[in-house]
Amino acid sequence: MKKSQKSKGTTSKNNENLERRRFMKYFFSIGLASILLPVVLWSKLWKPQEDKKLTIGTLKEATKISGLEFTETELEMMLEGLNQQLKNYQQLRNVPLANDVPSSLGFDPIMPGMTFPETQHPLKISQLKVSEVPTSLESVAFWSVQS
């Protein structure tokens, strides 16, 4: 396999994973993340084709598989939001990125110029200060934050 073919396949897989995360995030935002619906929809939707669009039929089938029932109005509202998300993802995929553009998903908390000692010291476990049990639960309401 040529290097360009390998990197293209890896990039495609990374794009699929990123889009899947965003897709699931949308369902989380509307309160449906803990159910099977997003997984079923994603499996039906993710096909290597350019013109992806959800339909009421696809949405009904996914809700049926996941054991949910929605009214026609609710499905239409979800459909509008989902198709808008798909359109947004397609626009993002059309933005050309060169290989020298760093990933926006990386995070390095070390600021430029910061240095740290390289010697390792043993872990010191300190004694936990145990508070006294209050005689009255109402008195706890007047404790300071440091108590």
Domain assignment present for residue 45? The answer is yes
- Render pLDDT for 20-71 as a digit per residue (tens, 0 to 9): 677 667 666 665 555 556 666 666 665 555 566 788 888 888 888 778 888 9
Residues 6+ apart with CB under 8 A from 52: 45, 86, 90
DSSP secondary structure string, 7-54? Answer: HHHHHHHHHHHHHHHHHHHHHHHTT-TTSSHHHHHHHHH--S-S----
- Domain-located, residue 61: yes
Whole-number Å distance between alpha carbons of 80 and 40: 18
Domain that holds residue 31: 3-93
Q: How many helices (H) and strands (E) does the chain have?
A: 4, 0
Q: Exposure of 81 by Cβ count < 10 A (0-12 exposed, 13-18 middle, 19+ buried)?
A: middle
For residue 111, is it within any domain? no
Domain total of the chain: 1
Residue 113's SS3 state is: coil
Is there a domain that residue 34 lies in?
yes
Tens of pLDDT, residue by residue over 82-130, are: 888 888 888 888 888 888 887 778 788 888 899 888 898 898 898 888 7
